[in-house]
Amino acid sequence: MKAVHFGGGNIGRGFIGLLLSQSGYEVTFVDVDQELVRLLQERKQYSVVYAGDQQQTFTVDHVTAIHGSDQSRVAEAIASADLVTTAVGVNVLQHIAGTIAAGIASRLEQGGSPLVIIACENAIGGSTQLQSLVYGHLTEQQQAEASRMAFFPDAAVDRIVPLQQHEDRLKVLVEPYYEWVVDRSSLPYNHIEIPGVHYADQLLPYIERKLFTVNTGHCCAAYHGYLRGFDTIQEVMKQPSIVAQVEGALRETGSALIAQYGFNAEEHARYIQKILERFRNPHLTDEVVRVGRSPIRKLSPNDRLVRPALAAFERGIETPYLARAMAAALLFDYQDDPEAVQIQQALSRDGISSAVTKFTALAENHPLHAAVREAYETLKTERSDRV
Ligand SMILES: NC(=O)C1=CN([C@@H]2O[C@H](COP(=O)(O)OP(=O)(O)OC[C@H]3O[C@@H](n4cnc5c(N)ncnc54)[C@H](O)[C@@H]3O)[C@@H](O)[C@H]2O)C=CC1
Ligand SMILES: O=P(O)(O)OC[C@H]1O[C@](O)(CO)[C@@H](O)[C@@H]1O
């Protein structure tokens, strides 16, 4: 079986590529990193190491790569693939949609056998977003035909894979834990299930539980940790006062999730503790600037901070910790992150009130808007008092 995977980065090689290879797929990575593509083409294999006491190592072989700019070769690979997956970042989906559309067009010309396309990104409805971007590159007739042969099930992916710093450029160190959940209701009846993937009839509870626990908790740790001058999540998780912020935010998202989906409260509390242990993994070194990356995306209304806060608000649940995490995100002034720079520019040009509206889409008269503004002023003062 053949898979084409867009994005040979940390999740691409360390999670999706590994699992697909273990399930018998030959994986062709598509990436825009020339050196990465060259090495994958040359070696046709790489290793994945589990960050644990044993440092278990897996060889992922029968892999190759194509540079993303070579649209015709990628389209050809898609035309004969059994599966297409992505892990490029949700904002990059728009840049690969044209190539996927070309692959679908070519497949239609060759008879149009069914194709499953799964976006493995940290976003609600990632594959659905990709589908609409791909359809933007197809004619009406192609869209009608594609709707019968191309399937875009949404998915939730969970595995912590930090930035990699090994002599071997292809090697990836990953946490042993993983979860990949795919929406079964959007799959063709004869889809061959991938071992290790959990198929759910309703994805939304899974993706929201994951995004509003793992990702909300992780970014709270990152933003509060950054403000206090820590470099890694492992250091941050040794600070009781920051862990209290993370736990507070996860109590808030947890209350909203339990109210919304009826999760068992005790089980959810155990789920939270397990995730905090994963953040602490002493075998990983995870930089706060990686976990806090792209603050505009993380502050956007459908993402890990605002969406659960609004869900909580609708149910009468107070969210002071989530408001503080949003304020900390607005104070994330890391110079090498273009989104952080954009936020700082907006703050100094237009002030906090306008920035909260711009980045969170919360109306100025919404109580959460005021809570974020107040938390911002408090955190800002605390930070300057420390310097
Ligand atoms: N790293 C992690 O722990 C997790 C990440 N994710 C999600 O997985 C996705 C990927 O994240 P990472 O692997 O960490 O990022 P990464 O930066 O390590 O990998 C992204 C890869 O995509 C490639 N890329 C960029 N533009 C491209 C294009 N136009 N065509 C083809 N390839 C392109 C990059 O060169 C890079 O190799 C993101 O959506 C992230 O939110 C989800 C769960 C965990
Ligand atoms: O691009 P994002 O959304 O920050 O993705 C990375 C996040 O995903 C995670 O792997 C959790 O799934 C965390 O490591 C990190 O917070």
Q: With a cut of 80, say whether residue 354 has pLDDT above it.
A: yes
In whole angstroms, what is the distance from residue 301 CA to residue 347 CA?
18
Over the chain, what is the mean pLDDT? Answer: 97
Q: Which residue's CA is minimally distant from atom 15 of ligand 2?
A: 291
Q: How much is the pLDDT for 386?
A: 82
| Angle of the 140-149 helix axis to the 126-135 helix axis, nearest 10 | 150
Q: With a cut of 90, say whether residue 92 has pLDDT above it.
A: yes
β-strand pairing of 150-151 with 63-67: unpaired
Amino acid at 159: R
Q: What is the pTM of this model?
A: 0.95
Q: How far, in Å, is the centroid of ligand 2 from the Cα of 317?
A: 26
The pLDDT > 90 percentage for the chain reads 98
Q: How far, in Å, is the centroid of ligand 2 from the Cα of 122?
A: 7
Can you list the domains of the chain with their CATH numbers? 2-201 (3.40.50.720), 205-386 (1.10.1040.10)
122 in contact with ligand 1, CB cutoff 6 A: yes
Q: What is the DSSP letter of 194?
A: P
Amino acid at 183: D
- Largest Cα–Cα distance of the chain, in whole Å? 68
Binned at pLDDT 50, 70 and 90, residue 15 comes out as very high
Mean pLDDT of 312-321: 98
218 in contact with ligand 2, CB cutoff 6 A: yes
Q: Which residue's CA is minimally distant from atom 12 of ligand 2?
A: 158
Give pLDDT tens digits for 264-316.
999 999 999 999 999 999 999 999 999 999 999 999 999 999 999 999 999 99
Q: How far, in Å, is the centroid of ligand 1 from the Cα of 211?
A: 16
**Which atom of ligand 1 is least distant from the CA of 95?**
29
Q: How far, in Å, is the centroid of ligand 1 from the Cα of 120?
A: 9
Binned at pLDDT 50, 70 and 90, residue 374 comes out as very high
In whole angstroms, what is the distance from residue 241 CA to residue 355 CA?
27
Give pLDDT tens digits for 177-222.
999 999 999 999 888 899 999 999 999 999 999 999 999 999 999 9
Mean pLDDT of 64-85: 97
ipTM of the complex: 0.97
Q: How much is the pLDDT for 180?
A: 98
Q: How far, in Å, is the centroid of ligand 1 from the Cα of 382?
A: 34
Q: Which residue's CA is minimally distant from atom 6 of ligand 2?
A: 291
Mean pLDDT of 105-120: 96
